[in-house]
A and B are shown apart, each in its own frame.
Chain A
Amino acid sequence: MGAGHGHRLHFHGHSPVHRAPAHLKVLALLAFVLLVVATPRDWYPVFALHLAVLLGVVALARVPLGYLLPRMVVEVPFLLFAALIPFVAEGPRVGVPMPGGWELSLSEHGLVAAWGLAVKGTLGVLASLTLAATTEPNEVLRGLQRLRFPDLLVQIMSFMVRYLDVVTADLGRMVTAMRSRGVDPRSPRHWPALARTLGALFVRSYERGERVHLAMLSRGYDGKLPETVR
């Protein structure tokens, strides 16, 4: 269990953005995305300003864009959804001449709405990625604590973050074992085998939780995690 203490999104660095207190970064991110969401979508120059501010922070953090951009794929399904809107939205239509002599009929409102969704979603994902890339998960948790997040919720989140890699590695080993016995986890034909694996994973995770709890009790846990000094 020595592996997996790093974080998949974290980009190690020592920039001012990396060093900034996590609670301020979380607040800044929240304020930024709220501002982006509240910006009327036809204020086109303002979005350029948002992007410039964001790219400024990324540059200050010295996180290469080549590191962030491939990680933005999480929003692809919603970009596809946005791309569909001009076809189904109401309102006046606009014809776009296509090669082959026919016209593609798109809704004007839909085009503006799709632009709004795409630009706001993209800015939001890039901003969240910047936080994740410059802040260790433990720092985010400490930041949430300083923001007076409910203590129990922070504890649960810290346990999830701590054991995430352990549990996914557990599942990874089971899937490897299944594959080596000729099971294809993606095929519905093998769902029963996959489901038994997930069932076993639940039992293992639950029992691990019980063992962790007993280990904590034996070290004097009384419902509160001790303050750890860095």
Chain B
Amino acid sequence: MHVPDGFLDAPTSVATGVIAAAGVGVALRRARAELDDRTAPMAGLVAAFVFAGQMINFPVGAGTSGHLLGGALAAVLVGPWTGMLCISVVLLVQGLFMADGGLTALGTNITLMGIVGVVVGYAVFRLVLVVLPRKLGSVPVAAAVGALVSVPAAATAFTLLFAIGGTADVATGKVLAAMVGWHLVIGVGEAIVTGLVISAVVASRPDLVHGARGLATRTPLVTSELAS
């Protein structure tokens, strides 16, 4: 899933680098407003969690496997800005420390998965949540739909970048059909896993799920007559 060096030409790589830097800059400021001085340890640990979650592969057919991208998952769990920050940090660490995804393509990868994936995933999540009944059980469903849409959306954004700065003479329509078709399949896996994970967290710690804020009902304190 990580775009390597040389996939897009140098000007496009630099341009996506600028977009990514701006996006991460905004995310940093907004996440700090959300988390205050907890930002560094909390975002760091959530990023480590996303990385660990990405290590789990699921088969997507034809002998290949996909893995969780985690954009929608992170956005619903910790909020869109912290989520964007966490995915970007995961990509930065993978690119700088693990040679996974090219260094010149880092901006492209952050733009696609960190910004487009998270923003689309979270926007769709919010939209679906408006339509569904206002209860805790709607959160995993909305998160799954968000995840389902976010993966082909990132693939579409990639196709757009490829049309602008691609280094191969392939008709854009063909790339679009192949990318979106393939990522729709991955998106289904992403949606199922995201929905199940969110529903697991909602069942045990609804207070931790950013997307469920305002939906969790406090269990009323029941006092007995015995006290008197």
| Residues of chain A whose beta carbon lies under 8 Å from any beta carbon of chain B | 7-9, 26, 29-30, 33-34, 36-38, 41, 71, 74-75, 77-78, 85, 88-91, 107, 109-110, 113-114, 116-117, 119-121, 123-125, 127-129, 131-132, 137, 140, 144, 150, 152-153, 155-164, 166-168, 170-171, 185-186, 188, 191-192, 194-196, 198-203, 205-206, 208-210, 212-213, 216-217, 221-223, 225
Contact = CB atoms under 8 A, between A and B. Distances in A.
B100 A156 contact: no
B171 interface: yes
5 contacts: A89-B169, A155-B44, A186-B58, A199-B200, A202-B208
A156 B193 contact: no
B134 to A, nearest CB: 22
Contacts of B221: none
Nearest to A194: B56
Given A159-B41, A191-B192, A89 B93 contact: no
Number of contact residues on B: which range applies?
35 or more
Contacts of B7: 78, 117, 120-121
Contacts of B99: 9, 71, 74, 125, 128-129, 131-132
A177 to B, nearest CB: 15
Contacts of B3: 78
B168 A158 contact: no
User: Is chain A's interface secondary structure helix, strand, loop, or mixed overall?
Assistant: helix
A37 B97 contact: no
B16 to A, nearest CB: 12
Nearest to B198: A199
Contact of A132 (B97, B105, B196): B97
Given A33-B103, A163-B45, A209-B46, A117 B53 contact: no
Given A38-B10, A137-B97, A163-B48, A121 B170 contact: no
Given A88-B170, A109-B169, A36 B200 contact: no
B44 A124 contact: no
